[in-house]
Amino acid sequence: MTAGERLSRRATDLRTRYTVADLDVLSAEEARRFLCCGTGDPRTDVPLAWELLYRLEPELYDRLASVERLHRDLLEWLPADVDRIVEVGAGAGRLTLDLLGRAREIVAIEPAQPLREILARKLSGTEGGERVRVTAGFFDDLPTPDNWSDLVVACSALTPESGHGGDVGLGEMERVCRAGGCVAIVWPNNVAWLESRGYRHVSFPGVMCVEFDSPEDAVELTEIFYPRAAAEVRRRGSRRVSFDTLGINPPRDVAFKVIAA
């Protein structure tokens, strides 16, 4: 992206940040999955706009993901001291770094190459990062053997839509999980859909805030990702912004299933 393009998008919220002209950043495999549902125009297809964000401005996405921290009790709830973990839709490592030390081997699967590169850089400078293999893959075709993992987890990535998991993706996660292991969907966007497929739901209490680096960062990122809350965030002038103010569910929920023998 050129400096001019960055400047033109600086104050543009995600709903209007990209156009159909940006779709050429998608590979053929990505286009087949992400253009199969929705309008095919990122100005009216929000999930598609997010996919373009991951590939065109991955550092911008990482700035947001890095301050939207998961509930500490949720992280403590996840299984520890297991042999193998598979994370699907690992992104830039929102959850991955918290999985270090829980398993002797971790496979982090992420379709967007720019996010894989950011994650690999983070892991290279982190103790235990050598235990993680970062690889390409999609929800509907996980590059992992059957019954391989003790914990299969996705964080804020799986949805009921086929391009972002759906029933096929959920089945793939269960396929690679061993009997007695756990499939966990962290920060799920549709609990009812998961419950109808045999998943249990846990939510951890307490007020949660996004801890932006500065009040200026809070305003900038809110204008892009949560524009309806931007005026209130600007008025308060704080780097700490509650998820309630942003109008989204806090990252304190998990839906899970223990795979039967």
Q: For 116-155, write each residue's pLDDT tens digit.
A: 999 999 999 899 999 999 999 999 999 999 999 999 999 9
pLDDT at residue 210 is higher than 70: yes
| Average pLDDT of span 225-246 | 97
Reduced to 3 states (helix: H, G, I; strand: E, B; else coil), residue 57 is: coil
For residues 90 and 36, which has the higher predicted lDDT (pLDDT)? Answer: 90
- CA 72 → CA 30, 82, 168, 206, distances in Å? 33, 19, 30, 11
Q: How far apart (Å, rounded) are the C-alpha atoms in residues 39 and 26?
A: 16
Exposure string for 242-256, b = 16+ CB within 10 A, e = fewer: ebebbeeebbbbbbb
Closest CA to 186 of 165, 201, 169, 164: 201
pLDDT digits (tens, 9 = 90+) for 169-206: 999 999 999 999 999 999 999 999 999 999 999 999 99
Chain CA centroid to CA 181, Å: 22
Q: How far apart (Å, rounded) are the C-alpha atoms in residues 66 and 168?
A: 29
| Contact criterion met (CB below 8 Å) for 111 and 87 | no
Closest CA to 9 of 67, 49, 66: 49
> For the chain, first and last CA: distance in Å?
50
User: pLDDT band for position 103 (50/70/90)?
Assistant: very high
User: What sign has the CA pseudo-torsion 82, 83, 89, 92?
Assistant: positive
Length of the chain: 261
Share of the chain above pLDDT 90, in %: 92
Whole-number pLDDT of residue 65: 97
| Contact criterion met (CB below 8 Å) for 132 and 100 | yes
Whole-number pLDDT of residue 7: 41
Reduced to 3 states (helix: H, G, I; strand: E, B; else coil), residue 258 is: strand
Reduced to 3 states (helix: H, G, I; strand: E, B; else coil), residue 75 is: helix
Closest CA to 236 of 215, 220, 213, 222: 215
Whole-number pLDDT of residue 4: 47
Whole-number pLDDT of residue 6: 46
- At the fourth CATH level, the homologous superfamily of domain 71-204+250-258 is Vaccinia Virus protein VP39 (3.40.50.150)
User: pLDDT band for position 9 (50/70/90)?
Assistant: low
Closest CA to 96 of 127, 129, 64, 63: 129
Reduced to 3 states (helix: H, G, I; strand: E, B; else coil), residue 4 is: helix
Residues of the chain with CATH 3.40.50.150: 71-204+250-258
Q: How far apart (Å, rounded) are the C-alpha atoms in residues 174 and 168?
A: 10
* Residue 203 CB burial class (10 angstroms; 0-12, 13-18, ≥19): middle
pTM, full prediction: 0.93
For residues 8 and 28, which has the higher predicted lDDT (pLDDT)? Answer: 28
pLDDT at residue 98 is higher than 60: yes
Mean pLDDT of the chain: 94
| Average pLDDT of span 12-40 | 93
| 75 CB neighbour count, 10 Å cutoff | 17
